[in-house]
Structure 1
């Protein structure tokens, strides 16, 4: 079985996890639109057209045919809507795309849709607004207070996220985020509603958690792994501890039931005075997953088994409690000749 991880970026650890899950039973191919560190870990790697390029899907389709790929696993938010719209294209050539349906991807990628989904289904979430005037009215009525968070509606990581401590900062930073969006890769999705592309959100003060909510490839709920966050860097968790929290586990199970997502749903949550709030949802393996993996969870192995129609031992989707993980920074390199040879061999004919 050969797998293709798309938009892998710097997630070399995920490449290794899938290589370990496959063992001698196949290859892990790594794709990215620019040269990246994760590509150095793949059995084969390839540079693709940009995600929004009209040649992106034809390129991936041809690559899958030439390299006998059986499943595509996207690792980047922007990749998800493109691939979910083309599930049938790949299914027709015998390739599974491990991605949730179009509706769930839209809810997760669009933070305003996330907010509406959570409110509609009775989940607690920070009060959120699309207009400065609405936020200021809420302050006047005593419903929220400064500071407020300003961020892109279709955002990721920590791109253009600011705190506003007063109305002047709110208005200035709101316009700044709008401009930043137009100068970044967030431009494409934000063009759906360019004048409503910025969110203003209540800032919570409490303990932050990350949830890995795991469903199988049919959308059946399997487990929720709770991680207490101790440090963040550039929108990703730097230090975290696996925790036992029945309230958050119930939230995870409820979200899985409402979404019927595929694979992992990466969720950011806050607990404030004993109340669990959901901030954001990402319908993919997120940057916090390594902490679950380090504590004994093996989602890549489960995915490989599900693809093979094999039974999965529930134990491999459970984490040891109290395991603290730390992300590290290291320099890696590759011989230029062998590196180029690997990439050239991976390019489809």
Structure 2
């Protein structure tokens, strides 16, 4: 490896050790040096920060000083790439993306409009349905209460802006609904069958370069614990339609669906960021992280569609001692 290192910053790094390792492998394949920085609210308690070359303490991503703090750090440390990892920081970074670009820094985030869509699950369903992407029947809780007998039971109730399975509940009758919730909720038909995550990469021109589905064999705390890559033409077609329905999507996104035995595949969630199960796609040969690095430094993209079908990931708990 020759030359100066590429300096990147992973934000809200937390437990994303697998993502850190994916970027390190990407740099090795590219033959470039990588200096990886990471930030977190408590970096001394973050495994990903412990694995980084440098780390810093950042304000909460909802704080007014969050973006200025990242801008200052990126400027002072010659950062060329910023990679966010949690939903709540996407819109602040999308809104200020031009400020980072003015400093020569590429922020791996989709447009503000895309973030607005994916952060509102009801709007997500409406946009996808309009584009012909199969989705489950969905309504706001207020609309549902107007005619609960018009639905087949059981149903899912979930926060409109939730993530990581927070607040999701299966209800079997109207009596199980609370009279009031702390946030806007929606109701969705309950789907059965196998659950899949599909990781996709969209280039700067809005073209989807590859989609890599994996079966979610086992899930813990909303994140895949055991998974297996599956090559299916129908899921690839759904991914292409979904990407086309999201003009302004950039880089790596992932979405989830159930392959319902009666209804067929139904998409129910999109994350406009690296998902927790991305390392499986990376190990399978879908080098999305490498293409993010290449985009940041102006190198040609590599093909990422020739990935390994049937690769199984079995996660286990490990530890870092400081």
Residue 342 of structure 1 corresponds to which residue in structure 2? Answer: none
Residue 7 of structure 2 corresponds to which residue in structure 1? Answer: 2
1:26 aligns with 2:34: yes
**Equivalent residues in 2 for 1:9-48 (5 A)?**
9-23=14-28, 24-35=32-43, 36-48=46-58
Q: Is the 8 A contact 1:299 1:317 kept in 2?
A: no
The whole-number CA distance in structure 1 between the counterparts of 2:163 and 2:212 is 22
Residue 185 of structure 1 corresponds to which residue in structure 2? Answer: none
Deviation at residue 31 of structure 1 after TM alignment: 1.1
Q: Is the 8 A contact 2:105 2:296 kept in 1?
A: no
Residue 313 of structure 1 corresponds to which residue in structure 2? Answer: 302
Residue 117 of structure 2 corresponds to which residue in structure 1? Answer: 107
2:22 is paired with a residue whose SS is: helix
Which of 84, 93, 116 is the equivalent residue of 2:103? Answer: 93
Structure 1: 5+ residue runs without aligned partners? 182-196, 335-349
1:286 aligns with 2:294: no
Which of 140, 143, 153 is the equivalent residue of 2:149? Answer: 140
1:93 is paired with a residue whose SS is: coil
Q: Is the 8 A contact 2:11 2:82 kept in 1?
A: yes
Residue 72 of structure 1 corresponds to which residue in structure 2? Answer: 82
Deviation at residue 136 of structure 1 after TM alignment: 6.3
Q: Is the 8 A contact 2:22 2:279 kept in 1?
A: no
1:332 aligns with 2:312: no
Deviation at residue 309 of structure 1 after TM alignment: 2.2
1:287 is paired with a residue whose SS is: coil
Q: TM-score, normalised by structure 2?
A: 0.91
Structure 1, residues 216-245: CA drift from partner, whole Å, max 9, x if none? Answer: 233221011111121111111111111121
Residue 188 of structure 1 corresponds to which residue in structure 2? Answer: none
The whole-number CA distance in structure 2 between the counterparts of 1:70 and 1:308 is 7
Is the alpha carbon distance of 1:133 and 1:254 closer, same or farther for their aligned partners in structure 2, counting shifts above 3 Å? Answer: closer
The whole-number CA distance in structure 2 between the counterparts of 1:81 and 1:216 is 19
Structure 1, residues 265-318: CA drift from partner, whole Å, max 9, x if none? Answer: 21001112372211100011101212212222221112112223222331x453
Structure 1, residues 92-134: CA drift from partner, whole Å, max 9, x if none? Answer: 2221111100111111111111011112112211111212562
Structure 1, residues 3-36: CA drift from partner, whole Å, max 9, x if none? Answer: 1111112101111211232345231110112232
Which of 188, 200, 204 is the equivalent residue of 1:213? Answer: 200
**Equivalent residues in 2 for 1:199-348 (5 A)?**
199-260=186-247, 261-273=249-261, 275-314=264-303, 316-334=304-322
Residue 189 of structure 1 corresponds to which residue in structure 2? Answer: none
Q: TM-score, normalised by structure 1?
A: 0.84
Is the alpha carbon distance of 1:234 and 1:90 closer, same or farther for their aligned partners in structure 2, counting shifts above 3 Å? Answer: same
Q: Is the 8 A contact 2:80 2:297 kept in 1?
A: no
Residue 155 of structure 1 corresponds to which residue in structure 2? Answer: 162
Greater helix fraction, Structure 1 or Structure 2: 1
Residue 63 of structure 2 corresponds to which residue in structure 1? Answer: 53
Please provide the CA RMSD for this pair: 1.7
The whole-number CA distance in structure 2 between the counterparts of 1:294 and 1:76 is 22
Q: Is the 8 A contact 2:15 2:47 kept in 1?
A: yes
Q: Is the 8 A contact 2:144 2:187 kept in 1?
A: no
1:69 is paired with a residue whose SS is: coil
Is the alpha carbon distance of 1:331 and 1:46 closer, same or farther for their aligned partners in structure 2, counting shifts above 3 Å? Answer: same
